[in-house]
A = this chain, B = another copy of it.
Amino acid sequence: MIVEVGLLGCGTVGSGVVELMNRRQGKIADMTGLRPAIKKILVRQVDKPRPVELAPGLVTNQPAEVLEDPSIRIVIETIGGIEPARTYILQAIASGKHVVTANKDLIAVHGAEILDAAERHGVDVFYEAAVGGAIPLIRPLTEQMTANEISDLLGIINGTTNYILTQMTETGADFADALAEAQRLGYAEADPSSDVDGLDAARKLAILASIAFHARVTLDDVQVAGIRSISAQDVRFAEELGCVVKLLATGSDRAGVLSLHVRPALVSKQHPLAHVSGPFNALFVRGDAAGDLMFFGRGAGSLPTASSVVGDVIEVLRVIRLGVSGRVSRMYLPGKRVSPLHAAPARHYLRLTAADKPGVFAAIASIFGVHNVSMETVLQKRAKGNTADIVIVTHATEPGPLANVVEGLRALPQVEAVHNVMPVVEAPE
C-alpha cells in the first residue's frame, strides 16, 4: 500500500531526504508493508535547479497543495526556522497528518505547543534529526534509556564551533583565522553568530534536556557563552595541561534542580569527547543504572540528516501499520526547577594577563586564599613587554567562590585582564 508524503523545503536536508527515500523505497516496503511516495514538494522557486532530479509537477510554491491534500498522510518539514514552518506544521497536524521535522529552532522554542497539538489531533510528531544530525539521540533517550534516572548530559552538539576549535588545535590558528577558513569551506555561515555564540547548541541542549530530565526546558533556561574569546594561547595552554578546548553543552539534574550551560571548557585528552573532531558531534549521557554512555556521529549534512528524517518516517509507517498512531507516549514529569547556580564543584582554568613584576603573583594568590579556592597548577608564559600570561587551574571549586575570585582578580590594579574561565572536564572512571 502506498502512503503519500508531502515535503516542505528542498534545500540541503530536503534533497537528501528525496534521494534517500528513493534509495530505500523497496526496503521500507519490505519492512513495514507500506511504500512511502513523495507526492508534492513545497519550494519557494519552482524552477530553481536542485541537487536531486525531480519528476515534473512534483514541486509547487503553493503550501495548500501539500497541507490541504487529504491523500497526504505524512508531512516532512525541512524548511528550518520558526515561521512559516510553525504555521505549516500546526496546519498539517490539525488536518490529521503525521509530521517529521528536522527543525531544532522550532522544537526548542515551540516544542510543547506542537507536541500538545499532535496529542489533541491523534497524530505523531518525530524530530530525531533536530539534534545531532545522523546520531540517534531522541529515541534512545525516550525509549532505550527509560530504565534510568539521567543525571548528566555532556555534549559537543555544534559542528561549526567544533570544526573551528579543532582547526585552532591542529594548526595553532587564532579564532578569527579559523572562522574565516570555516566560512571559506562552507562550514560556517556568513553571519556565524548563531553557531559561535553558542545559541545553536543551546537550542539543541534545551531539546535534549527536556527529554532526558522530563522537564519543559526552553532556550531561556540555558546559560550561554560562545567561543569568540578563545585564543590561540588558551588552546596552547590547554595542550600543556593535557586537554583540548571544546564548546560543551552540559545539563545536570540534582534532585529535580536543573543546571544548563553551553560554554567552552577544557576536556582531558583521556576523555572520549576530546577526540570528537571536525564536523562530528557526540553526546555523553550519565544514567543511574547505565553509567556513562556516549553517542557519536555526523551532526549535520544532507544524507546524515536525512538518515534520521527517513528513520522517523519509517517509524511513522510502523506506527500506522500497527494501528497505534498518536498513542506512542510522550512523558513530561512537570515541576522540575531550572537553576543556573547549581553546578557540581569542578576544577577550573583561568587565564589572565598581569604586570610582570615582583609581588604580583602574591597579590593574585591572596585573592584565591581569601575566597578559599585552592590552586592546583600554575603556568606563567610568553610575557610580552611588561606583562605575563598566567594560567591557573584550581582544585574542584563551587561556582560561587569562583565568581568571587574572578571579581577579586579583575579589581586588582596589577591584573590587566581575566580572559577566560573554563571548567576542566575529567575522563569518566
Contacts from A to B (Cβ < 8 Å): 16, 20, 23-24, 27-28, 30-32, 128, 134-136, 139-140, 143-149, 270, 272, 274-276, 282, 287-298, 301, 303-304, 306-311, 313-315, 318, 322-324, 327-329, 331, 333
Known: A31-B146, A311-B144. A298 touches B304 (CB 8 A): no
Known: A31-B331, A146-B31, A324-B322. A291 touches B303 (CB 8 A): yes
**Nearest-Cβ distance from residue A208 to partner chain B, whole angstroms:** 15
Known: A290-B304, A304-B290. A20 touches B333 (CB 8 A): no
Q: List 5 A-B contacts (CB under 8 A).
A: A23-B289, A143-B315, A148-B307, A275-B275, A290-B308
Judge whether B291 and A145 touch: CB under 8 Å.
Answer: no
Judge whether B329 and A307 touch: CB under 8 Å.
Answer: no
Judge whether A306 and B147 touch: CB under 8 Å.
Answer: yes
Q: How far is the CA of A308 from the CA of B290 in the complex (A)?
A: 8
Contact among B143, B276, B310 with A272 in the assembled complex (CB-CB below 8 Å): B276
* Copies of the polypeptide in the assembly: 2
Known: A311-B147, A331-B31. A289 touches B306 (CB 8 A): yes
Q: How far is the CA of A40 from the CA of B314 in the complex (A)?
A: 38
Judge whether A310 and B297 touch: CB under 8 Å.
Answer: no
Q: What are the residues of chain B within 8 A of A295 when measuring CB–CB? A: 293-296
Known: A293-B297, A306-B147. A31 touches B329 (CB 8 A): yes
Judge whether B135 and A307 touch: CB under 8 Å.
Answer: no
Q: What are the residues of chain B within 8 A of A309 when measuring CB–CB? A: 147
Q: Output the nearest chain B residue to A16 by Cβ-Cβ distance.
A: B289
Q: Output the nearest chain B residue to A301 by Cβ-Cβ distance.
A: B291
